Chains A and B, each alone.
Chain A
Amino acid sequence: MKSTELTGNPVETVALTKRYGETTAVHELNLTVLPGEIYGFLGPNGAGKTTTLRMLLGLVRPTSGEVRLLGREPGPAFLDRVGALIEGPAFYPYLSGRGNLRVLAGHAGVEVSRVDEVLDTVGLTERAKDRYATYSLGMKQRLGLAAALLKKPRLLILDEPANGLDPAGIADMRVTLRKLAAEGCTVLLSSHLLAEVEQVCDRIGVITRGRLVAETTVADLRDGGSLHLVAQPVERARAHLAQLVGAEATHFDGAGFDLDVEPDQAARINAELVGAGVSVSELAWRGPDLEHTFFELTGGDSDVD
């Protein structure tokens, strides 16, 4: 076990491990989610995301390791102010949406008046009287989010929250998460959808085969792009670029140049080349290929979309 100390961060795990017989689902996971951030827990299906989240919530007992949420160790008040939606919504089909939330409010020990507030937050007030069995997948997902919000959580743990949502629903979910984060709620969001995590998260942890293989910010991942340039004549362009940005920062791929420079250098380079009689037909900033990066990190597991 590593000697990492637990602190008061919203989510802290130390060497968290879960084994099922010979299979290790999660291997010595050290995860830290900072206050107020939206943390993306990214990995292919079967990587160990849901098992990790279930261990955080006490649904699955770790084989070894430690968990602390909002500075609390597992115990009677462990899940106070923690909301969760794990592996899809699950409710009683014969109860209405409101009825389901009232039952869960009873288990959570929160006021029934809170039910209508969260129904309004997720936009389900009009269908609240209808039986859950009649809900569409997207409505079920929104009801799941409503249940997670019942306790006015300071930490929200969401497992694949965009599953079943249409594009408008996904956009609404994104807005809701950002609003919650702005209000001080920390969000831990698992997903196998690269675009979803990239668009909404501040930091990303990548898990594959039960191991956390990378932890970084989205901004850091986006670093490392290049300025792509197509110009004629090629040799004159190459000579001038070597003077302008250095030969080591100039790469020619047979069709165009990739320059290791900052994006704000584009206008100056364009002006210098044109002034030197070089015809520039294309000039664009190309960010890093996040998808390729994640495929590399996850060892090529194919179900990261």
Chain B
Amino acid sequence: MWTDVRAELVKQARRPADWLLLAVALVLSLTFGYVVPYAGYVSGSPVGGRGIVTMLPREFVGTALGGLPIFIGALGLIFGVLVAGGEYGWGTWKSVLSQRPSRVQVYSAKLAAVATGVLILVVALFVVAAVASTVVAGLVGAPLTWPGALDVLRGLAAGWLIGMMWGSLGVVLAIALRGTALPIGLGLVWMLAVQNLLASVAAPLLTWVAELQKGLPGPNAGALVAALGTSPGTPGVDPIVGSGQAVLVVAVYLVAFCATGGLLFHRRDIA
């Protein structure tokens, strides 16, 4: 099993697209978490939420997590699709499965690679946010006050949970649709369009849609990061449920996506 995980990690570590996704995620997080808000702050425009406070070190956990419910989550989904779907595109499932491993082993190694990649992403987001918040504190002459270690660990765990949920959604879409293009397209439509329409158009009009929101993955991810300090003005972030329910719902989706992907992969022929 470990040799399969190691082989999978080598594949992903040497794949340029994975590093591009990470770079895009960091640039987006930095741009919309610090650069744009700080530019607005300097120019006297309203920053939204709690203003400059969200850019200071004490709030860096919430700012680092801010993109995960939507746009950085979308990159996590793309990562999951690439990890599993690339094997269909290149026809390499047969090369891997003609060697010795069982499908359970290979699928588990895929999930391990996604989990590792998401962990690297979340840690990198935290490091970039911490550095950026230090710079902002220096620029505005604010004290370097950091959140407690437990808060940071809690934020990392929540970030990983949300990122892994989106990544595993990418994996299951890739396996269900046997490729990369359509899963990425459909996944992004869901995350960037449907979720947004439900929240901003349907939910205010229909009570049952508003209730439904409380069981969907995106709104629960948004509620979870809101509980950890992300400004409610951030897209996709709204404390519609408590943190306990949010963790539970996101975890249930994660398990459901992983199980569905595994079941499909185990039962289907490799054409």
The answer to whether A and B come from one shared complex is yes
B270–A107 CB distance below 8 A: no
- Are A90 and B99 interface neighbours, CB within 8 A? no
Other-chain contact of A58, B3, B4, B90, B97 (Cβ < 8 Å): B97
Residues of B within 8 A of A154 (CB): none
Task: Count CB-based A-B contacts (< 8 Å).
Answer: 89
Binary B-proximity of A16-58 (CB < 8 A = 1, otherwise 0): 0000000000000000000000000000000000000010011
User: How many residues on A have C-beta within 8 angstroms of the other chain's C-beta atoms?
Assistant: 36
Q: Interface digits, A110-146 against B, CB 8 Å rule (1 contact, 0 not)?
A: 0000000000000000000000000000000000000
**B residues within 8 A CB of A104?**
7, 95-96, 99
Binds A, one of B100-108, B221-229, B231-239: B100-108
Distance in Å from the Cβ of B236 to the closest Cβ of chain A? 33
Q: How far is the CA of A93 from the CA of B98 in the complex (A)?
A: 19
B11 near A103 with CB under 8 A, answer: yes
Q: Are B7 and A107 in contact (CB under 8 A)?
A: yes
| Contact assessment for B94 and A86 in the assembled complex, using a CB-CB cutoff below 8 Å | yes
Choice from B11, B94, B101, B102 contacting A92 with Cβ under 8 Å: B11
SS class, residues of chain B in contact with chain A: helix
- Alpha-carbon gap, A183 to B266, bound state (A): 36
A106 part of interface (Cβ distance < 8 Å): yes
Give CA–CA (A77, B16) in the complex, Å. Answer: 34
Q: Output the nearest chain A residue to B17 by Cβ-Cβ distance.
A: A94
Distance to closest chain B CB from A305 (angstroms):
24
Q: Across the two chains, which residue of chain A brings its CB closest to B95? A: A90
| A107 in contact with B90 (CB, 8 Å) | no
A86-B98, A92-B11, A94-B14 in contact; A107/B269 too (CB < 8 A)? no
- Report chain B residues within 8 Å CB of A76: 102
Known: A59-B270, A60-B269. A106 touches B10 (CB 8 A): yes
A84 contacts chain B at the CB level, 8 A cutoff: yes
Determine whether the beta carbon of A103 is less than 8 Å from that of B10.
yes
Residues of B within 8 A of A54 (CB): 94, 269-270
Q: By CB atoms of chain B within 10 A, which of A83, A87, A90, A147 has the most?
A: A90
Q: Does A79 lie within 8 Å of B99, measured CB to CB?
A: yes
Report the bound CA distance from A109 to B95 in whole Å.
14
Which of chain B's residues have a CB closer than 8 A to the CB of A147? Answer: 95, 99
Note all chain A residues with C-beta closer than 8 A to B14. 94-95, 99
Tell me, yes or no, whether A285 is within 8 Å of chain B by CB. no
**A94-B15, A94-B16, A103-B7 given; A108·B99 CB < 8 A:** yes
Kindly state whether residue A295 has any CB partner on chain B within 8 Å: no
CA distance A86 to B99 in the complex (A): 12
Cβ of B154 under 8 Å from chain A: no
Does A80 interact with chain B (Cβ within 8 Å)? yes
B204 on the A face (CB < 8 A) = no
- Of A59, A93, A99, A148, which contacts B269 at CB under 8 A? A59
**A95/B90 contact (C-beta < 8 A), A84-B98, A108-B99, A147-B95 known:** no
Contact with A along B1-19 (1 / 0, CB 8 A): 0011011001100111000
* Interchain nearest-CB distance for B140 vs A (Å): 44
Tell me if A102 is interfacial: C-beta within 8 Å of chain B: yes
Q: Is B31 on the interface with A (CB-CB < 8 A)? A: no
B38 to chain A, nearest CB (A): 37
Q: What's the least CB distance linking A252 to chain B, in Å?
A: 55
Rounded to whole angstroms, the CA-CA distance of A108 and B6 in the bound complex is 12
Q: Shortest Cβ distance from B225 into chain A, in angstroms?
A: 34
Separation of A108 and B99 alpha carbons in the complex (Å): 5
Q: In this assembly, does B92 line the interface, its C-beta being within 8 Å of a C-beta of chain A?
A: yes
> Are B94 and A108 in contact, CB atoms less than 8 angstroms apart?
no
Show 11 residue pairs from A and B whose CB-CB distance is below 8 angstroms, ordered by the A residue.
A60-B269, A86-B94, A90-B91, A92-B11, A92-B90, A92-B92, A104-B96, A105-B7, A109-B3, A109-B101, A148-B98
Excluding A79-B100, A90-B91, 9 further A-B contacts by CB distance (< 8 Å) are A54-B269, A57-B94, A59-B269, A61-B269, A102-B7, A104-B7, A104-B99, A106-B10, A151-B100
Question: What is the interface of chain A, defined by CB distance below 8 A to chain B?
Answer: 54, 57-61, 76-77, 79-80, 83-95, 99, 102-109, 147-148, 150-151
